[in-house]
Structure 1
Amino acid sequence: MIHSGTARRRLIAAIGITGAAALALSACATSERGSDTGSGKVGGTFTFGAAGAPKLFDPFYATDGETFRVSRQMYEGLVGFKPGTAEVEPALATKWESTPDGKTWTFTLKEGVKFHDGTPFNAEATCVNFNRWYNQKGAAQSDAVSQYWLDNFGGFADTPDKPSLYKSCTAKDAKTAVVELTGATSQFPSVLGFTSFSISSPEALKKYDADNVVQAGDSFTYPAYANEHPTGTGPFKFGKFDKANNVVELVRNDDYHGDKAKLDKVVFRIIPDETARKQALEAGDIDGYDLPNAADWKGLQDKGFNVAIRPAFNVMYLGINQKNNPKLQDLKVRQAIMSAINREQLVKSQLPEGAKVATQFMPDTINGFNKSVPEVKYDLEKAKSLLKEAGAEGLTLKFYWPTEVTRPYMPSPKDIYGAIAGDLEKAGIKLDTVSKPWNGGYLTDVDNGVPDLFLLGWTGDNGTAQNWIGTFFGRTDNRFNTGASAWGKSLADALAAANSEPDEAKRTQMYSDLNKKIMEEYLPAIPVSHSPPALVLKKDIKGIVPSPLTDEKFGPASKG
């Protein structure tokens, strides 16, 4: 999810010896995927209304949900997530175990698996992928390209000043891969279930020059592998990307190692406008789409559509980039911005039933959530007073909001922007507004620190605190440019200390204390809300299980 502009920064948390052993034991059950088609009608085409075009088809270089949605139908990782949960389950690995220190992981791999090009999946192929990720060069090391590696594993083979969590991968035999880490982490091996760390065909990677990423200014050009020849082990294979008609087509992999896909094809029709997606569903042109406007849920249900509501496993926030405007480095100014936003009214007017105001950067279901952090109430006069105390009256800020996208935490960016902008203007803050397509400049500008304020959010990968606040603030070179402030490094260091604490109870308390500190002393951004997103499908579509991680697989789906 991404996750989650996107599912965005995926840093790793520490694991104790007990936790590592429990995770290893829980994963020792062999995968029970069979080879038949199972129940449900076989054949037909499932057409999904996508909010945006995929950036590319090499998941390692992907960062956004629309790209991941397509990729996860074609690729698999060593592990996956049990449908409808964030629980790790076997995928290409049937079981795994770790040494007591959590640094050496032995994966037993599924046998008889072939990539879409007919070449075998085995331990050697697994290690080729790990070493490919670790040995990225030049432009491919950019945060805009290999972001998930940087956020989860750190540096590369040739960046000694930026060490990596990854140490080595050894093919012990054809079905046994041993991965060595430089430190223990609570998210290993669950991090290998992220779509970014799916396993590609080594032959295809080599044949289509997969690592040849070229940079020109802020833009990147990707090789043939990423654009035309994605090659995984999944239930669907790449068909075509018809850019003229905004259509991506996947076809069934008849040689799939598990339950064969029931559908002949999966088609993604790119329809950026949410209203247009709804109309396409009602007209029968598509079979489903993600993130219907909450105001439409009941009407869609009344018309016979299945509106599947996911848990609110996300957070939407107003990002504050402190680098460009010195006034934003003053805590009082950031507190003023928070007091100026009527978040309670925004939740009531813009978000679905079940949404609530966020008091911190994680939902209350995560260990480390601090119950003592109070909700900062809307207070226009306080906002004005704080701005005056900071000498920031008449402050002008560049405020970015995204077009051509709908996110699980942000169903209507334009309307949410409008509500927040109106509140800020009432407090006397002047806004220079910029809107850009999500994959057409918005994320690039945010990553490059262009806006002062921006709308973004996160859908969690799992239930660890590091996957939330560590994702946002665990590096000084993050979207908030906290390195511009003296406390930026101290926050990153404190998160690293929590990340490396082996005792679970102590680690939880450290994260709880940090949540309070982030909101009361640092306030690098404004958490706005947690919102339950939905997925809408025709009644005759069966087999798609809504995921809190927005990790839906279409392999088991059937139509009619």
Structure 2
Amino acid sequence: MHHYLRFNVVALAALMLVVTAAALVPQRAETAGDPACPSSWPSEAQGGTVADYGHGVIEYSDFFTDSNEESWFVIRSSDSNGYTIVRAYPANVDGDGYVESASHETCHLLVRRPGDAEDDAEPQQITFRIDNEEPTGGTSLHCTQLDYSIGRPGGTLTYATTEGPQTFNLALANDGPSVGFLSYLFEGLTTISSCTGQVEPALAQWWQSSGDGLTWTFHLRSDVQWHDGTPFTAHDVVFTFDHIIKNYDPLFPGIRVAALDDYRVRFVLSGPSPTFLRNMGTAIYPRHILQPYVSAGTFASTWGVNTNPSEVIGTGPFTIQSYVPGVSLTLTRNPNYWLKDDEGNSLPYLDGIRFIFVSNFAAELARFRAGQTDMHGLLPEEYDVLKPLEEAEDFTIYEFGPGFGTYFLAFNMNPGQNAGGEKYVAPERLRWFTTREFRQAVAYSMDKARIINEIEHGRSEPQWSSISPAAGDFHNPNVRRYEYDTDRANALLDGLGWTDTDNDGIREDGSGNDIAFTLATTQECLACPIIIEGMESIGLRVNYLPMTFPQLVTRLSASYDWEAVMIGLGGGPDPGGGFDVWHSSGSLHLWHPNQVRPATQWEARIDDLYTRASTELNRARRIDYYHEAQEIIAEYLPVIYTTLGIRTTAVRNNLGNVRPTRFGLIDSRYVYFTDR
């Protein structure tokens, strides 16, 4: 687990707002006999009543046969927003599971909405198009329902972390810490279930679409207030898309948005989008607060870290109480938050969340062992230290699978220049970095087995592909691999004519320049010494330049003053969320961002594949597009991946509603202290 991703292990475990991609396109079913749905729903199944007027009763998984004698596998789900739903999938012939990739649709029987009285909860059938995305299963992280206990109010959840926010403006945030902190304050129209990874309602109660999937009407909650008490309405949604997202978010090209009234908003898409509903988890911003800044042209400087915290207004479960740079960030409970538990109690249960800023990872661990923090994301070497102490120090270590993110080495291939006319990268270095054989030689010099054994204590595996195995069938395991082989690395460099002509241990290029460059990274890149040693063993001189994470982000996204970097990026269960990274026009296209047209043929092909995948509703074809993109990335190596660790977090035993799934560990709205 690495520096950038380490923060996200804790943050993702605690967040409710997850804006990742995978297609789930709900449509109202015209009749209960839709071919993708059961022709009839029984009153009884093996596990009990399928749908009653109270809460719906069914086992977590069960089977029944409809009036057409077709078999169905059903799952009852009480989701985190108070809905009770029964999902139906075609059953296999053995009657012990669903048919993988059998149908493009799954049928949902909506048994109860939040706030429904028992006698008003008439079951209603809804069809959700999911393009062959089947229920997650087969691992210990299998989740079909999160049964949250009724919690006790009060208490402050405390973390220690090495990084603070760089901005309080979520629309401008491009670093993990800022996004993590601010996701407690802001919400989207939809959210992603931390159980199933599927789309759930959030600020929108429900939605409907036209037959072609291009026109969507969202019905908003009428009980939501901004943190200052102003009602949330459809006009906030229109403002967000027309004035903020249009300028700062690449996920919604050509979208048109209109308020039909205060609580209905219509979206018209320029083309089909398999990730549209997931992308609707993007944050909505307050028109009454931000409109003056937008009109004045000062939005880009609004809500910096020096802002009075009371001015940062969202709809989420927490607000910022105080921020002391280098010391702490404290969030306090939103007393008017809209979500209730099953007994009608207001959420969240916590009074607040406090982040203590410390100087290094050792200090994080020390704080946890001293009882000063409640959760701690483990470095690999900490597992063997902490595991024997679980009982004595009253905590439990949870593992929730490989991360969705990646950690890699990259070279700056940006041919541009700054305002003073100075090239971002010296011409000779640009020639090295843009030479594929050079990057491949560096890949062969990276001893991932040694990193795994010496740094990560065996708790990781080599990563070869741009999409994590955590993303399921989107991951391509058959891409080109670069096993540690300095002979092959040397042969590639020799083939370029870049040899050590003066016997000083450093190769020279064809013009006689020493092949030397600076590697920028954060102050605690534990694997960097091994990676640098590998590069130097093949005749490259590497100058190590550690810096703070904010300094590194500034170089990568503003000044472009860097040569090589070790950094990480987050990810999600659907690759569509990586469009801004892999499309050459993207601001996160790290090695050469914001291209007007693709600089290389291989980048042009990746652009085409990601663009096709962004409008393709057939899941199998989307998988093919992303598999080919991964093969190209592995061949041309714009980034060189290191290893992928197991997400592991230690949690105090007095925390309730800890629910490890492959999508996270806790929902901060439901977590509570059991000893209060």
TM-score by length of 1: 0.81
Q: How does 1:246-325 map to 2 (within 5 A)?
A: 246-259=327-340, 260-289=347-376, 291-301=377-387, 302=389, 303-312=393-402, 313-323=404-414, 324=425, 325=430
- Tell me, yes or no, if the aligned pair for 2:219 and 2:264 is still in contact at 8 Å: yes
Q: How does 1:421-460 map to 2 (within 5 A)?
A: 421-439=532-550, 441-447=551-557, 448-460=559-571
1:375-426 deviations in Å (ceiling 9; x for gaps)? 32110111111111113342212211113xxxxxxxxx42111121111111
1:122-178 deviations in Å (ceiling 9; x for gaps)? 222222222231454xxxxxxxxx3xx13x23xxxxxxxxxxx14222111222111
Match of 1:58 in 2: 169
- Tell me, yes or no, if the aligned pair for 1:359 and 1:527 is still in contact at 8 Å: yes
Tell me the CA shift for residue 553 of structure 1.
3.5
SS at match of 2:171: helix
Match of 2:577 in 1: 467
Match of 1:229 in 2: 311
State how far apart, in whole Å, the 2-side matches of 1:82 and 1:306 are.
Answer: 23
Match of 1:397 in 2: 517
- Tell me, yes or no, if the aligned pair for 2:21 and 2:279 is still in contact at 8 Å: no
Structure with the higher helix share, 1 or 2: 1
State how far apart, in whole Å, the 2-side matches of 1:120 and 1:23 are.
Answer: 36
State how far apart, in whole Å, the 2-side matches of 1:212 and 1:246 are.
Answer: 29
Q: Identify unmatched segments of 5+ residues in structure 1.
A: 137-145, 154-164, 404-412
2:256 to 154, 158, 168: 168
Match of 1:349 in 2: 454
Matched AA of 1:429 = L
State how far apart, in whole Å, the 2-side matches of 1:4 and 1:179 are.
Answer: 37
1:9-60 deviations in Å (ceiling 9; x for gaps)? x9998969899997897697876489xx962232122222122111222322
Matched AA of 2:330 = E
1:242-270 deviations in Å (ceiling 9; x for gaps)? 23x62111211222211322222221111
State how far apart, in whole Å, the 2-side matches of 1:19 and 1:109 are.
Answer: 17
Structure 1 or 2, whichever has the larger Rg, is: 2
Tell me the CA shift for residue 277 of structure 1.
0.9
State how far apart, in whole Å, the 2-side matches of 1:80 and 1:11 are.
Answer: 7
2:647 to 533, 549, 553: 533
- Tell me, yes or no, if the aligned pair for 1:76 and 1:92 is still in contact at 8 Å: yes
SS at match of 1:488: helix
- Tell me, yes or no, if the aligned pair for 1:49 and 1:270 is still in contact at 8 Å: yes
Tell me the CA shift for residue 107 of structure 1.
1.1
Match of 1:369 in 2: 475
* Structure 1 residues 348 and 28: alpha-carbon distance in aligned structure 2, compared to 1, 3 A threshold: farther
* Structure 1 residues 86 and 177: alpha-carbon distance in aligned structure 2, compared to 1, 3 A threshold: same
Task: Indicate yes or no: 2:274 matched with 1:186.
Answer: yes
- Tell me, yes or no, if the aligned pair for 1:239 and 1:249 is still in contact at 8 Å: yes
Task: Indicate yes or no: 2:465 matched with 1:360.
Answer: yes
Match of 1:212 in 2: 298
* Structure 1 residues 53 and 92: alpha-carbon distance in aligned structure 2, compared to 1, 3 A threshold: same
Identity %: 21
Matched AA of 2:545 = V
Match of 2:624 in 1: 509
State how far apart, in whole Å, the 1-side matches of 2:112 and 2:243 are.
Answer: 28
More relative contact order, 1 or 2 (CA 8 Å, 6+ apart): 1
Match of 2:285 in 1: 200
SS at match of 1:535: strand
* Structure 1 residues 66 and 545: alpha-carbon distance in aligned structure 2, compared to 1, 3 A threshold: farther
Match of 1:409 in 2: none
Tell me the CA shift for residue 549 of structure 1.
5.1
State how far apart, in whole Å, the 1-side matches of 2:158 and 2:169 are.
Answer: 22
State how far apart, in whole Å, the 2-side matches of 1:190 and 1:399 are.
Answer: 36
- Tell me, yes or no, if the aligned pair for 2:489 and 2:538 is still in contact at 8 Å: yes
- Tell me, yes or no, if the aligned pair for 2:21 and 2:275 is still in contact at 8 Å: yes
Tell me the CA shift for residue 338 of structure 1.
0.7
- Tell me, yes or no, if the aligned pair for 2:26 and 2:208 is still in contact at 8 Å: no
State how far apart, in whole Å, the 2-side matches of 1:510 and 1:282 are.
Answer: 47
State how far apart, in whole Å, the 1-side matches of 2:289 and 2:168 are.
Answer: 13
* Structure 1 residues 476 and 516: alpha-carbon distance in aligned structure 2, compared to 1, 3 A threshold: same
State how far apart, in whole Å, the 2-side matches of 1:251 and 1:225 are.
Answer: 17
Tell me the CA shift for residue 116 of structure 1.
1.0
Structure 1, 171-180 or 540-549: larger mean CA deviation: 540-549
State how far apart, in whole Å, the 2-side matches of 1:360 and 1:179 are.
Answer: 35
State how far apart, in whole Å, the 2-side matches of 1:65 and 1:33 are.
Answer: 35
* Structure 1 residues 46 and 342: alpha-carbon distance in aligned structure 2, compared to 1, 3 A threshold: same
1:126 to 237, 250, 253: 237
Match of 1:382 in 2: 488
Tell me the CA shift for residue 456 of structure 1.
2.1
* Structure 1 residues 181 and 251: alpha-carbon distance in aligned structure 2, compared to 1, 3 A threshold: same
State how far apart, in whole Å, the 1-side matches of 2:571 and 2:110 are.
Answer: 25
Matched AA of 1:231 = I
Task: Indicate yes or no: 2:131 matched with 1:41.
Answer: no
Match of 2:322 in 1: 240
SS at match of 1:508: helix
State how far apart, in whole Å, the 2-side matches of 1:286 and 1:62 are.
Answer: 26
* Structure 1 residues 72 and 517: alpha-carbon distance in aligned structure 2, compared to 1, 3 A threshold: closer
Give RMSD over aligned pairs: 3.5
Structure 1, 293-302 or 327-336: larger mean CA deviation: 293-302
State how far apart, in whole Å, the 2-side matches of 1:53 and 1:27 are.
Answer: 44
Tell me the CA shift for residue 190 of structure 1.
0.6
SS at match of 1:492: helix
